[in-house]
Amino acid sequence: MPDTLSPDLLRKMHAYWSAANYLSVGQIYLQENPLLETALKPEHIKPRLLGHWGTTTGLNFLYVHLNRLIKDNDLNMIYVIGPGHGGPGIVAHSYLEGSYTERYPAIERSRNGLQRLFRQFSWPYGIPSHVSPETPGSIHEGGELGYSLAHAYGAAFDNPDLIVSCIIGDGEAETGALATSWHSNKFLNPARDGAVLPILHLNGFKIANPTVLARISRQELTELLRGYGYDPHFVEDDDPNFVHQSLAGTLDRVLFQIRAIQGAARAPIWDKRLERPRWPMIVFRTPKGWTGPKFVDDKPVEGTWRAHQVPIADFKSPTI
Ligand SMILES: Cc1ncc(C[n+]2csc(CCOP(=O)(O)OP(=O)(O)O)c2C)c(N)n1
Ligand SMILES: [Mg+2]
């Protein structure tokens, strides 16, 4: 099958993802030297480190790809994320897009602005480490995991032109609220309502533990999701180049499926069959803390529970 992304677009999207990831790490760690123009010193690092790296790079990846889909197809789409603790990533995108500076002119698009952007994160009188009302474009802050999918369906009802992409953490998926929200597809009318595209972020862990959905076989997970009434598409690997093409192709296919379901339901035919459609969804299986340090003090970090918050936390006794 031919690649969905041209080499030039792939390069640009990868660069955008890398920039968003850099801005995310910078917010978590740096109080000085935002462009790393001089060698990193302990005093450049914030004294109290707080933030969530583990979920952020995956969320950043999905954000860039959904933007490509929106631009290519002129979509009306919103982005609902269960793991709102990936706050630095969303702030990074808002800054890259220019909205952050438009709303907060002191956070300029310059070295000084970057320093302020980094410093304010998780800082007294600054901004919280989660997506919050201060984040441009944010319409609701959660905190308690479990409600992303219910909100996504709520946004889609009676909104026929809207597609709601909804990122669900695999830990979040273990909450009662989320586990029942899968069934909301039974209430979605493809003629009158918009669409919801659930994306299960299967990064394997929730804080310090593995997740159930990452420990069952792929067949069992497929059967579970089909049992909820979905058609799951798997995008999985740790090689960004492969995942870029795989996700881009998958997003094109699920959009085609959504449009086919809606097109059939909205066609002006008096005797159309009233069968409940099987809506597409995506299982996005990439490592927790993707692109971060593989090992710290001889212990594996990328792809493990250790990547959940700050992957390197102890700068008082560096071993390298
Ligand atoms: C109901 C609820 N329980 C516990 C927490 C604390 N908490 C914050 S992040 C997190 C792990 C989330 O794991 P997952 O959904 O897999 O997101 P990931 O960071 O792995 O992308 C937990 C348990 C919470 N916010 N809400
Ligand atoms: Mg997880």
Secondary structure (DSSP) of 233-300: EEEE-S-HHHHHHHHHHHHHHHHHHHHHHHHHHHS--TT---PPP-EEEEEEE--TTTTS-SEETTEE
List pocket residues of ligand 1, CB cut-off 6 Å. Answer: 54-55, 83, 85, 144-146, 169-172, 175, 201, 203, 205-207, 211, 288, 308
Question: Can you tell me which atom of ligand 1 is nearest the CA of 168?
Answer: 15
Question: Residue 212: which residues within 8 A CB-CB, separation 6 or more?
Answer: 174
Q: What is the CATH number of the domain that holds 175?
A: 3.40.50.970
Q: How many domains does the chain have?
A: 1
**Given the CA of residue 54, which atom of ligand 1 is nearest to it?**
19
Distance 175 CA to ligand 2 centre (A): 12
Note the pLDDT tens digit of each residue in 94-137. 999 999 999 999 999 999 999 999 999 999 999 999 999 999 99
The best mutation among 203, 207, 211, 302 to test binding of ligand 1, ranked by most ligand atoms within 8 Å of the C-beta, falls on 207
312: in domain: no
Distance from the CA of 174 to the center of ligand 1, in angstroms?
10
193 occurs within a structural domain: yes
- Choosing from 172, 212, 288 the residue with most ligand 1 atoms within 8 A of its CB, the one to mutate for a pocket test is 172
pLDDT class of 319 with cuts at 50, 70, 90: low
Q: Is 6 exposed, middle or buried (0-12, 13-18, 19+ CB in 10 A)?
A: exposed
Q: pLDDT, tens digit, for every residue of 177-201?
A: 999 999 999 999 999 999 999 999 9
Q: Do the Cβ atoms of 201 and 169 come closer than 8 Å?
A: yes
Confidence bin at 243 (pLDDT 50/70/90): very high
Pairwise CA distance, residues 61 & 38, whole Å: 29
- Is 190 a domain residue? yes
Quick: pLDDT tens for 37-46: 999 999 999 9
Position 205 scores a pLDDT of 97
**What is the CA(189)–ligand 1 centre distance, in A?**
31
| 53 found inside a domain | yes
Task: Tell how far the Cα of 149 is from the centroid of ligand 1, in angstroms.
Answer: 15
Amino acid at 22: Y
CA distance 37 to 188: 52
In this structure, is the dihedral angle defined by the CA atoms of residues 203, 86, 208 and 319, taken in order, positive or negative?
positive
Report yes or no on 136 lying in a domain: yes
pLDDT of residue 273: 65
Full domain range(s) for residue 157: 7-267+276-307
Burial class (CB in 10 A: 0-12, 13-18, 19+), 110: exposed
pLDDT, average across residues 71-85? 96
Q: What is the spatial distance between Cα 199 and Cα 169, in angstroms, rounded to a whole number?
A: 9
User: What was the pLDDT predicted at 270?
Assistant: 63
How high does pLDDT run on average in the chain? 95
List beta partners, residue 232: 281
Q: Is residue 219 part of a domain?
A: yes
Longest dimension (CA), the chain: 74
Strands (E), 155-228: 162-169, 195-201, 205-206, 209-210
Global pTM value: 0.97
- Give pLDDT, residue 275: 84
- At residue 2 the predicted structure's pLDDT band, cuts being 50, 70 and 90, is confident
The whole-number average pLDDT for the span 291-314 is 93
Separation of CA 129 and ligand 1 centre (Å): 14
Residue 55: CB atoms within 10 A of its CB come to 29
Task: Please report whether residue 246 resides in a domain.
Answer: yes
Q: Is residue 319 part of a domain?
A: no
Q: What is the pLDDT of residue 318?
A: 60
**pLDDT of 271:** 59
